[in-house]
């Protein structure tokens, strides 16, 4: 049995850092493990200009602890009226991708897209400039069962979109179903997907174990066991179309432990450890490095990292809460022990 695991330094291809005082907690957690992260733009108000992305990047960089190397990769938030000209400015500013949130699909998505056809001129500009499209792949139609919204999105939105933009690189973020894993696996090389640690580790029973468990609530919501198994199979398959994206999404504990609780699980404090747990359970620890450190940069057309991250087999329990500005942040699986621990990060 391996007791230490040294990986090429990984990247997080889907992350929410939030803003303001929250950065003092979120940025050090992520920078302690990851060399780069795709930073989601769903702030209030959302990041919709190159200028706003640059200012946000500077605030993130200012929160990186001395001695740590971390590069935030910035994204813009797609709206019905994001002008195509902004895409050129974004490209010049180093923005790498644009995020599609169907309006109302998830946290801070009110400004999202109401009809994908309204964004076609902007998508054309992205295709031309080589910016990726990242999608929250769920339809918002209240008639569609919550557990089916990802599968319906593939059929009704993603498939036609890929036909109309045959040269656009697309990442289906945080996939949660067998249908999505299969669709991505069978698609051409311009479609890939991120998978979270929590969707690899838990099925929907986790939401209701002994009572309602708000800290396991995220969107897309956890699914049945057969879907979890399909995600594990995809992540450990060695296919370059699947890579790590934590979707670590912090909220003040009081807003999750509420009559109407916010969607989002915080995992950045122990991200790679949670993935290691999932890969080990599948007997696929040897596949973790490619998933965490190779497939993402290869798909984005960025160089792989040169540093390393070392984990040791060790039973430890992460803190049950963290400061979060004036509030409290409770991570996923607070109080539960983990089997792996990061012991060294080398830039
Ligand atoms: N995943 C979540 O449940 N929440 C995310 C938004 C998102 O990624 O959909 C958040 O910003 O809180
Ligand atoms: Zn999302
Ligand atoms: Zn997210």
Q: What is the pLDDT of residues 41-77, one digit of tens each?
A: 999 999 999 999 999 999 999 999 999 999 999 999 9
Edge-first strand listing for the sheet containing 308-316: 4-8, 308-316, 338-346
- 26 Cβ contact list (under 8 Å, min separation 6): 16, 17, 18, 63, 248, 250, 268
Whether 293 is in the pocket of ligand 1, judged by its Cβ within 6 Å, is no
DSSP 278: H
Q: What is the token pair recorded at 147? A: 């557990």
pLDDT at 45: 96
Give catalytic residue positions.
Answer: 247
Whole-number pLDDT of residue 237: 98
Please report, for the chain, how many H helices and E strands are present, in that order.
Answer: 13, 13
| CB environment 214-252: b (16+ within 10 A), e (fewer) | bbbbbbbbbbeeebbebbbbbbbbebebbbbbbbbbbbb
Q: Can you give the length of the chain in residues?
A: 347
CATH topology of domain 11-304: TIM Barrel (3.20.20)
ipTM of the complex: 0.99
| Confidence check: pLDDT of 223 > 80 | yes
- Torsion (CA) 169, 173, 177, 179 in degrees, nearest 10: -10
Ligand 3 center to 76 CA (angstroms): 13
Q: Is 264 in the pocket of ligand 1 (CB under 6 A)?
A: yes
d(CA 219, CA 67): 34
CA 159 to chain centre: 21
Distance CA 183, CA 166 (A): 16
Task: Please indicate whether residue 107, judged by its CB atom, sits closer than 6 Å to ligand 1.
Answer: yes
Nearest in space to 226 (alpha carbons), one of 234, 215, 237:
234
Q: Which among 13, 14, 42 is the best mutation to test ligand 1's pocket, defined by most ligand atoms within 8 Å of the CB?
A: 42
- The ligand that comes nearest to the alpha carbon of residue 263 is 1
- pLDDT at residue 2 greater than cutoff 90: no
Going by C-alpha positions, the residue among 140, 83, 146 that lies closest to residue 114 is: 140
- Percent of the chain at pLDDT > 70 equals 100
Residue 87 has pLDDT above 80, yes or no: yes
Q: Which of 204, 198, 281, 191 is nearest to 244 (CA)?
A: 198
Structure-token pair, residue 176: 């949660």
Would you state the structure tokens that stand for residue 69, as one six-digit string? 């190397």
* Token pair recorded at residue 8: 């090429």
pLDDT given for residue 65 in this prediction: 98
d(CA 37, CA 30): 8
247 CB less than 6 Å from ligand 1? yes
The number of the ligand nearest the C-alpha atom of 106 reads 1
pLDDT digits (tens, 9 = 90+) for 317-341: 999 999 999 999 999 999 999 999 9
Candidate of 78, 219, 329 to mutate for ligand 1, largest count of ligand atoms within 8 Å of Cβ: 219
Longest dimension (CA), the chain: 55
Average pLDDT value over all residues in the chain = 97
């Amino acid at each position: 049995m391996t007791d230490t695991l040294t990986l090429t330094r990984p990247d997080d291809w889907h992350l929410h850092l939030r803003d303001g005082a929250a950065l003092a907690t979120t940025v050090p957690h992520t920078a302690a493990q990851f060399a780069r992260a795709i930073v989601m733009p769903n702030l209030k108000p959302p990041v919709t200009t190159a200028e706003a992305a640059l200012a946000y990047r500077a605030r993130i960089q200012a929160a990186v602890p001395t001695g740590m190397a971390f590069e935030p990769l910035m994204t813009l938030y797609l709206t019905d009226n994001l002008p195509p000209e902004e895409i050129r400015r974004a490209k010049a500013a180093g923005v790498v991708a644009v995020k599609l949130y169907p309006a109302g699909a998830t946290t801070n998505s009110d400004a999202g897209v109401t009809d994908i056809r309204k964004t076609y001129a902007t998508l054309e500009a992205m295709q031309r400039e080589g910016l990726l499209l990242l999608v929250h792949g769920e339809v918002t139609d209240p008639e569609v069962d919550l557990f089916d919204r990802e599968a319906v999105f593939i059929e009704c939105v993603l498939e036609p979109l890929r036909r109309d933009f045959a040269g656009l690189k697309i990442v289906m973020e945080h996939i949660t179903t067998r249908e999505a894993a299969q669709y991505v696996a069978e698609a051409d090389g311009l479609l890939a997907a991120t998978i979270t640690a929590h969707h690899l580790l838990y099925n929907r029973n986790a939401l209701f174990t002994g009572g309602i468990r708000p800290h396991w609530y995220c969107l897309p919501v956890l699914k049945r066991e057969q879907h979890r198994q399909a995600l594990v199979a995809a992540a450990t398959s060695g296919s370059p179309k699947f890579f790590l994206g934590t979707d670590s999404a912090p909220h003040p504990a009081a807003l999750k432990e509420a009559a109407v609780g916010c969607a989002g699980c915080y995992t950045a404090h122990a991200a790679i450890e949670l993935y290691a747990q999932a890969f080990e359970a599948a007997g696929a620890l040897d596949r973790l490095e490619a998933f965490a450190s190779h497939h993402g940069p290869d798909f984005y057309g960025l160089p792989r990292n040169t540093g390393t991250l070392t984990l040791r087999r060790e039973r430890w329990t992460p803190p049950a809460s963290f400061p979060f500005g004036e509030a409290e942040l409770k991570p996923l699986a607070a109080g539960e022990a983990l089997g792996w621990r990061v012991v060294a990060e080398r830039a």
